[in-house]
Amino acid sequence: MYNCGKLNYYHIIMLALSIVFSCFFGFSQGQLMFGFYSNSCPNAESIVSQVVSEKVRENPANAPVLLRLHFHDCYVQGCDASILIDNGPNAERSAFGHQGVRGFDVIDQAKAQLEEACPGVVSCADIVAMAARDAVALVNGPRYQVQTGRRDGTVSDKSLADDMPDVNDSIQTLKAKFVSKGLSDKDLVVLSAAHTIGTTACFFMEKRLYSFSLNGVSDPSINPSLLPELQATCPRNGDVNVRLPMDRGSPQTFDKHILQNIRTGFAVIASDAKLYDDVITRSIVDSYFGPLNPVLGPSFETDFVNSMIKMGSIDVKTGTEGQIRRVCRAFN
């Protein structure tokens, strides 16, 4: 199911481009660079990859979990591992907008092994970014190089996560939240499409299924053949912790199938469905299914990689900023 050794033509091209960028350009946005640990901790990336591979083999749900963890970390205070800190009830990780975020144990295990190999060298923020990259590759997603050199933040406050994108936000609110982080409408579409893997809880479905309007009706954008299926899984007043795949029909493979679901009313969560409410985001979704795609049209995989690299550069701390934590759950 998780064929990690097979590279298709696209994967080979992306790997070659990453090597070229690494050799000729070195530094990139946010003063990050490819191969940051090549001298100080040569086995850093392989150690993280091995831990992630083991954890995903044990539980395939860890792939989307690690991808989500990276997004939630970067959105609040930038990619600085602030979400990992476990410093009591006011810790950022306890924010309402972070509910359901997991994967901390995977990062802890990777950090412990890295501390044995290279004490005080590899940041927790870089581990989070590398783990997300490896998780994507393990579910047939694009393989790409991660720029490293992030340092860990020294602030953890749940109030700073109050403005996380919400499943029930309007499309205009979602666009504004992404723009505030330097992310474009295309970034919104392709990063939302990361929901091609993973599940959501019925808790996040209640409004869409039973109180979408004042009349207490369901979201009219839901395909009529999908609605009874969703309501059977998440009945009114049922167990809100029951989980269901966000990409109906292709929940364990990283692909653009979720975008086709959005086009046809089969999006599971409201925020995905709303990508088709706006003329700009709708045109971006449709562009991946044009008559010239994928030969001459945009590549979803390429755009996803570009957006991940862009997201991974949000407000990074580099140089002498922040710290390199000895344990990811606590400040030094």
Write out the two tokens for 270: 């409201």
Residue 254 is predicted with a pLDDT of: 96
Residue 20 is predicted with a pLDDT of: 43
Closest-CA residue to 325 (of 130, 126, 62, 161): 126
Instruction: Pick out the residues of the known binding site for substrate.
Output: 165
List active site positions: 72
Give the contacts of 172 (CB within 8 A, at least 6 positions apart): 278
pTM: 0.89
Closest-CA residue to 83 (of 194, 178, 158): 158
| Distance between CA atoms of residues 80 and 155, nearest Å | 9
Residue 7 is predicted with a pLDDT of: 43
Instruction: Pick out the residues of the known binding site for Ca(2+).
Output: 73, 76, 78, 80, 82, 92, 196, 247, 255
pLDDT tens series, the chain, 332 aa:
323 344 454 444 444 444 444 443 333 344 899 999 999 999 999 999 999 999 999 999 999 999 999 999 999 999 999 999 999 999 999 999 999 999 999 999 999 999 999 999 999 999 999 999 999 999 999 999 999 999 999 999 999 999 999 999 999 999 999 999 999 999 999 999 999 999 999 999 999 999 998 777 999 999 999 999 999 999 999 999 999 999 999 998 999 999 999 999 999 999 999 999 999 999 999 999 988 777 788 999 999 999 999 999 999 999 999 999 999 999 99
Token pair 């970034």 in the structure block, residue: 187
Helix, strand, or coil (residue 330): strand
Q: Domains in the chain, please, with CATH?
A: 9-163 (1.10.520.10), 171-307 (1.10.420.10)
